Structure 1
Amino acid sequence: ASSTSDEVNASVATLTTELNTFDFRTPTAPQLAAMQDPWQSFQVIDDKTIQLNMGYGYLGDTVAYTYILATLAAPIAAGVDPFVIAANGGTNDSTNDWTSTNLLGTGPYKLASYNPSTGFVLQKDPNYWGAAAAAAEPWNNILQPAKSDIQTNFQGDPAKTTTDLKTGAVAGASFAYAGPSTVNDLKNSACVSVTKLSEVYSSTAGAWWIYMNQNHEPFNNQSFRAAVAHAINYEQINATAFGGNSVRWVGPVPPGYPYYNTDSLPAYSYNLTLARQFLLNSPWPTGYLIPVKYAYINLGDWAEVSLIIKSNLAQINLTLDLVPITLDNLYQEQARDSTTGVCTTETTANGGPFYMGQEFYTSDYISPDDWTQNNAISDGSANDCMSAFNDPNVDAWVLQAAGESNPAVARQLYRDITRTMYDNYTNVWLLSPNQFSVSSPLLLGVIPNPMGSALPFTMSFNTEYALKP
């Protein structure tokens, strides 16, 4: 879509003069009329009721977004009372520092202290709004009030964290990364409970793949991409780098999510004979003689994974030049220059150009379309400048599936998306590392939340279980 400068200026004026300054308790007549307009997505009915009208979004005025509840349940943002903000510095078209060290609302905890270097303390909130509701529903873990104060300490030494867990100095821990040796060490301690979580937690934290840019040789040839996919020893990667603590997957929807691989397509196999057959069908039957720069994220065991991949692909005479990058570098690589439209992956930035490399995604909310609108649709952030996969049918299916209310139709759409990318060898779907809950056996009621998991950090929302009915 395009807009004139007058339209843009009008939109900015509306955001500045109306959205940010409404007095929601005593709105003016024009403001109230705007909020009560039936074309509003969030329509005000009265002073205690808001009606959510489906549709009116990017899918079209008459199409409801299927996963609206999943997006609302994700703890990525919250609406707050503007009176509280105004009373503590306001915004003045900028961020509000007061909210960095203060909690808003009447939840089960209140923030007692916070230091960005050392940690924070949460105290039980005596004014918790849900106390009465929790008493009426003692089986409902979501509503229960806090049972104890929580002290969280920040420290970056995994060895110290492991020792503190084993000695009982801490009740639980969150690791940015825990390798096989750390996991096994903790499993063998009588003072630590290590529980492998289900696939949905692994997927939410991150499922990984290798992208191959279809705009550049040798990856502009499907047979060559297929040769790459079948020349990689996935079991070697799982056993050596992850100690068996990962799962294979077939994208673009990750394991544990609705409509994951509905045809149960087998993950790409390590089959060197088949890989060489595909290679013979490509323009480079004896291999690609020019070294290819391969970007990998320098995190945890992924450096070791990259070495395995380099060794594997040497068997089909594809030489990789391994280049470590950071997460910030990866986000830079996903972008296009706003002036020239050139992808960063096509430039020398960060050691590029990178027509092949490691890619992953972590969820904003738990739904298949959160992934397909990033790694399947042509302008997705994890596809556009990476794999450069562009199929108009897939684009249409992705958007249709996001607003499809018929499960049978949605299943067929996600089946078609998955099958098309699978046959195209769009990406080499690698692994999704397992996630673990790590805590003291004396800590009761660890209630993990899948949306609390996203690299580079994995979190659990911990409290005591409510009484069972």
Structure 2
Amino acid sequence: MNRRNFLKTTALAALATAATRWNFAMAEGTGSIFTLACPTSFPDLDPATSFSNDGAVLANVYEGLARYIPATETSEAKIEPLLATGWDVSADGKTWTFTLRDGVKFHDGSPLTSEAVKGSIERTKKIGGGASFIWGPVTSIETPEPLKVVFQLSEPQPLDLIASAGFAAWIYAPSVLDKDNAWFNAGNDGGTGPFKITRYEPGQRAVLDRADGYWGKVPENGFKTVSFEITEDSTLAQNMIESGQADWTYSLPYENLEALKSNPDLNVVVNPSFETLFGLYNVKRKPLDKVKVRQALSLAFPYDDVIAAGTSGFGTRAKGVIPAGIWGHDADAPVPKTDLEAAKALLAEEGIESGLELTMTYSSSQAIEAVAGELWKANLETLGITLTLQPMAWEAQWQLAKSNPEAAQDIFVMFWWPTFVTPYDYLFNLFHSEEKPNFNLGYYSNADVDAKIDEAAKLSGTDRPRAETLFREAQRKVIEDAAAVFMLDQPNVHIIRADIKGYKDNPAYGHITFVNELSR
């Protein structure tokens, strides 16, 4: 049996298993089901600490005070009230007063109040995990009225934008404030969202059912159940979406998109995104502790070939880590171009001889990362460097990188999309010094870069032009130091069934589908 037939047979066998799951769900009488074939699993369902692909689930269970609405051809980007109905900010930008929506109830039946907002954010800050850094400027939270909450800040910040974040901005019920991480990851929740978690099987699926008494508008023929099926095999995911076993998926090979577009049962939705692909160099391991070696590796990366072969031309060249569409993007950033002769010269300067071996880890569910690795590997072989490609499940890749830098990978490849729409999110999480690795998985540390990032963050609410300058200076230093290889920016490409109504992609919330807005 050849490899292609083997993969097809394997996928069909897995599809039969998926069909059994689907039929079982239908037999349970759960009603109208929206099924997502998700290429990654959900490592953390605690709304205080979730900071990965689990946002896809939590965004349908929890809500924040506000939501970011991206710009269109006819309108500018804006922040829209959600659990809040509006807000006021003092002249100095340091006091924000939010008015809460009346009549909202948590899934346990308790009402949304200012005390609940205060308790949620204080728990998130106290735990200090995930994206809790977004609340760093908040010095105190006051609750003068049941539906008014007042935030005092250490410096002027765009708190409406912060409150629209896709991580760490969730508001949850007072009854769950004392629950630990294990309680949430057993499939329990305390949100106000349109759905509640009714079944969670780690590594396999999460099932949500519609919450009674949801405050928001529910479309006619809206879905009653949401099933997140973890489907790391892209062949299986494609079979599921084509057969109708799934209603939504992404991360399918780009070369398959034309065939998918010709299928009348499917819609291929392509939109700009805030998503960028890069590889973080492990600066704690020799010889990657040398700037010129890292620069040489970046010069050996086949940028144009990866965009052509890996994205069928849909991708664009990354200009650092801050993608187009995010304020602070540097269209003139001095990123390197492929130049094998220049790479060879830098390696010679550092005395690097033929025989160097490096390991690159990447997510096994991301076809583009595999393509990038294979093409890079071929270029590096001409320089006498062996690049071992190590595909891993996302959680395993992440845990390896967070454990011990000296024993971790040489190059960590991943995508990043924003926690909230600011260059600070990209630079702080990926390149600001960390005592304990979280997402700075190249372990880069530069005091001058840290200072510029921190100062720019403080100025974001009062002097955006100066903040942009500082963010760009910080990014240019990261590029000069070759802390990472900046591979490409890619659009959002989602495949949905043609009978789904109301779908809109929001790049501020990477690969999140707000199922309450949809119907069949």
Q: Normalised by the size of structure 2, how large is the TM-score? A: 0.63
Q: What SS class does the counterpart of residue 449 from structure 2 fall into?
A: helix
Q: What SS class does the counterpart of residue 235 from structure 1 fall into?
A: helix
Pairing partner for 2:260 from 175, 180, 186:
186
Paired position in structure 2 for 1:173:
248
Q: What SS class does the counterpart of residue 220 from structure 2 fall into?
A: coil
Say which structure is richer in strand.
Answer: 2
Per-residue deviation, 1:104 = 4.3
Per-residue deviation, 1:212 = 2.5
Per-residue deviation, 1:146 = 3.1
Paired position in structure 2 for 1:412:
469
Deviation per residue, 1:281-320 (Å, 9 max, x gap): x222x74533233333333323343222111112222222
Q: 1:215 to 1:241 in 2, by over 3 A?
A: same
Q: What SS class does the counterpart of residue 189 from structure 1 fall into?
A: coil
Pairing partner for 1:152 from 202, 213, 226:
226
Q: Structure 2: how far apart are the matches of 1:97 and 1:243? A: 40
Paired position in structure 1 for 2:95:
none
Paired position in structure 1 for 2:143:
44
> In the alignment, is residue 373 of structure 1 matched against residue 428 of structure 2?
yes
> In the alignment, is residue 332 of structure 1 matched against residue 431 of structure 2?
no
Paired position in structure 2 for 1:292:
358
Q: 1:361 to 1:119 in 2, by over 3 A?
A: closer
Q: CA RMSD in A?
A: 3.8
Pairing partner for 2:384 from 314, 317, 320:
317
CA contact 1:294–1:355 (8 Å) conserved in 2: yes
Per-residue deviation, 1:362 = 4.1
Paired position in structure 2 for 1:345:
405
Q: What SS class does the counterpart of residue 249 from structure 2 fall into?
A: coil
Q: What SS class does the counterpart of residue 215 from structure 2 fall into?
A: coil
Q: 1:295 to 1:119 in 2, by over 3 A?
A: closer
Per-residue deviation, 1:214 = 3.3
CA contact 2:402–2:438 (8 Å) conserved in 1: no
Q: Structure 1: how far apart are the matches of 2:438 and 2:171? A: 31
Per-residue deviation, 1:379 = 1.8
Q: Structure 2: how far apart are the matches of 1:346 and 1:410? A: 34
Q: Structure 2: how far apart are the matches of 1:291 and 1:158? A: 29
Q: What SS class does the counterpart of residue 355 from structure 2 fall into?
A: strand
Q: 1:334 to 1:265 in 2, by over 3 A?
A: same
Q: Structure 2: how far apart are the matches of 1:169 and 1:191? A: 12
The correspondence of residues 19-38 of structure 1 with structure 2, limited to 5 A, is none
Amino acid at match of 1:459: I
Paired position in structure 2 for 1:14:
none
Paired position in structure 1 for 2:497:
440
Q: What SS class does the counterpart of residue 160 from structure 2 fall into?
A: helix
Paired position in structure 2 for 1:100:
187
Q: 1:464 to 1:265 in 2, by over 3 A?
A: same
> In the alignment, is residue 363 of structure 1 matched against residue 418 of structure 2?
yes
Q: 1:375 to 1:288 in 2, by over 3 A?
A: farther
Per-residue deviation, 1:380 = 7.7
Identity %: 17
Q: What SS class does the counterpart of residue 432 from structure 1 fall into?
A: strand
Q: 1:121 to 1:283 in 2, by over 3 A?
A: closer
CA contact 2:218–2:517 (8 Å) conserved in 1: no
The correspondence of residues 269-280 of structure 1 with structure 2, limited to 5 A, is 269-280=337-348
Paired position in structure 2 for 1:139:
none
Per-residue deviation, 1:112 = 9.8
CA contact 2:270–2:491 (8 Å) conserved in 1: yes
Paired position in structure 1 for 2:160:
69
The number of residues matched between the two structures is 380
Per-residue deviation, 1:122 = 4.5
Per-residue deviation, 1:428 = 1.0
Paired position in structure 1 for 2:35:
none
Q: What SS class does the counterpart of residue 218 from structure 1 fall into?
A: coil
Unaligned runs of at least 5 residues, structure 1: 1-22, 56-62, 131-143, 337-343
Paired position in structure 1 for 2:506:
449
Per-residue deviation, 1:431 = 2.2
Deviation per residue, 1:403-427 (Å, 9 max, x gap): 2120111111012112212222221
Q: 1:312 to 1:381 in 2, by over 3 A?
A: farther
Q: Structure 2: how far apart are the matches of 1:401 and 1:369? A: 8
Q: Structure 2: how far apart are the matches of 1:73 and 1:389? A: 29
> In the alignment, is residue 217 of structure 1 matched against residue 217 of structure 2?
no
Q: Structure 1: how far apart are the matches of 2:150 and 2:320? A: 36
Q: 1:247 to 1:444 in 2, by over 3 A?
A: same
Mean Cα deviation higher: 270-279 or 406-415 = 270-279
Q: 1:47 to 1:119 in 2, by over 3 A?
A: closer
Amino acid at match of 1:298: S
Pairing partner for 1:243 from 302, 312, 319:
312
Q: What SS class does the counterpart of residue 73 from structure 1 fall into?
A: coil
Q: Normalised by the size of structure 1, how large is the TM-score? A: 0.69
Per-residue deviation, 1:174 = 2.5
Paired position in structure 1 for 2:513:
460
Q: Structure 2: how far apart are the matches of 1:442 and 1:24? A: 35
Q: Structure 2: how far apart are the matches of 1:381 and 1:413? A: 25
CA contact 2:172–2:190 (8 Å) conserved in 1: no
Q: What SS class does the counterpart of residue 362 from structure 2 fall into?
A: strand
Per-residue deviation, 1:438 = 2.2
Paired position in structure 1 for 2:215:
129
Q: Structure 2: how far apart are the matches of 1:440 and 1:92? A: 38
Q: Which has the larger radius of gyration?
A: 1
CA contact 1:254–1:260 (8 Å) conserved in 2: yes
Q: 1:399 to 1:251 in 2, by over 3 A?
A: same
Amino acid at match of 2:512: M
Unaligned runs of at least 5 residues, structure 2: 1-110, 123-137
Per-residue deviation, 1:198 = 0.8
Per-residue deviation, 1:401 = 1.2
